[in-house]
Amino acid sequence: MKKAGMIAGLAAVVAAAVGAYVYLGRTGPTVTTTIGQILAQNGFTEFRPPSQHALPGTLVLVTGSQPIALGVICRPEQSLGLDAATIPASPSISTDLASALDRTLAIDASMLEKLKAGGKLSEVEDIRIQLTNVRLLELSDDAVLDGVGARSPACREALELRLASGGAVTMIKAALMADVTYVATTRSEAGGEVSADLQDTLATSLNSRVIGIGSGRVELAGEALIWGIRDDQVLARLGTSRPASATESGERSLLPAGAAVETIEIDDAAGQIGPLPPILPRGSERPRSNG
C-alpha cells in the first residue's frame, strides 16, 4: 500500500472510531458522550484497549489502517534517551477534559462483544470503569531536539531504513495516561463464584490485575495506562537524512484525532519489540496487519 493510501485509509476510520467503546455515565435514559469523542475533541487518537507501550518519544510505523495497527521502531529509551521517569508530565490538563473524564464510565456493547468473542468471557454482562490520576505526558519540540543526540545506533539505522522504504513513520509526542478501576458484572447468581479462568482472561484483555471478587463480580485495577495519544511525523524525522519539513501529507500529525489504535506490535509482557513487516520498495503493497 502506498503511503498516501495508508494516510487516506487512516482518515477514513475517524467516523467509525467516534463510536468508541466506552460510554460516559448517563443522566436518565439519554446516552451521553463516549470517551472516544472526548479524546477526539481534544486532538487525541484513542488506544483501544489502553496500552502501556506508547510513551512519548516512541517511534512507530503504521502497519494497518482498518483498524489502525502500529509497530514499534524504537522505544523512547532508544530514540531519545528517555524513560517513564524522565518524560515530563504537563502541569495541568484542560479543565473541560479533566471534568469530562472524572466520572464512572461503561464499556460500549460492541467492545464488550469483541471481548466475549473468544468464549471465555461469555458470562460477562457489563464492565464499568473509573479513571484516576489522569495526567498528560508531553514532549516539547526542544526536548526532542535535545534527545536526538542520545539516539542509539540501532534506532538510527532502523528509522532510516523505514523512511527510505516509504514507511508511514511518526513519533508519539503526547500521551493521556491514567490509572483505572474496572468492575465487571457476570451472569453468576448471587453468591456464585467467578471462575479463575474468567478472572485471568479479563485481566489479560484489559491490561490489569484482579484486586477483588464478589457475588457475580470481579474488580480489577490497571496503572499507568495510556488512553489516547498525539503524534508528530515531523519530529520523527529530526536527526535523520530526511528533511523534517518534507512529509507527504503536509500535516504534522499522521494519526487522525478520533481514530482508534487497536494493535501495537510487541512480543510479550516484558515489552520486547515484536517483528515488524519487511521493508518493501517504495510503492509496494504493504502486508495487511492481522492484529
Question: Chunked in runs of 10, what are the mean pLDDT values of the chain (291 residues)?
Answer: 54 44 40 68 87 94 90 95 90 79 73 76 83 92 94 96 94 95 77 73 88 87 94 94 70 88 66 42 40 37
Q: How far apart are CA 232 and CA 93, in angstroms?
A: 19
Q: Which three cell numbers stand for residue 236?
A: 520523527
Q: How far apart are CA 218 and CA 236, in angstroms?
A: 41
Place of cell 505526558: 137
Place of cell 474468567: 198
Q: Are 80 and 86 in contact (CB under 8 A)?
A: no
pLDDT at position 4, please?
55
Q: Which of 238, 241, 89, 247 is nearest to 150 (CA)?
A: 238
Beta bridge partners of 126: 185
Q: Are 206 and 167 in contact (CB under 8 A)?
A: no
Q: How far apart are CA 71 and CA 85, in angstroms?
A: 23
Query: Which residues 6+ apart lie within 8 Å of 250 measured at CB?
Result: none
Q: Is the backbone of residue 119 left (phi > 0), alpha (psi -120 to 50) or beta?
A: left
Q: Which three cell numbers stand for residue 38?
A: 472526548
pLDDT at position 101, please?
86
Place of cell 503536509: 250
Q: Which three cell numbers stand for residue 19?
A: 463510536
The size of the chain, in residues, is 291
Q: Which of 88, 92, 99 is nearest to 38 (CA)?
A: 99
Beta bridge partners of 184: 127, 218
DSSP one-letter code for 81: S
Q: What are phi and psi of 251, to 5 degrees?
A: -105, 150
Task: Give the sign of the dihedral formed by CA 131, CA 47, CA 208, CA 178.
Answer: negative
Q: Which three cell numbers stand for residue 263?
A: 494493535
Q: How far apart are CA 169 and CA 17, in angstroms?
A: 21
Type of residue numbered 178:
A
pLDDT at position 278, please?
45
**Residue-wise pLDDT tens digits, 125-147:** 888 888 999 999 999 999 999 99
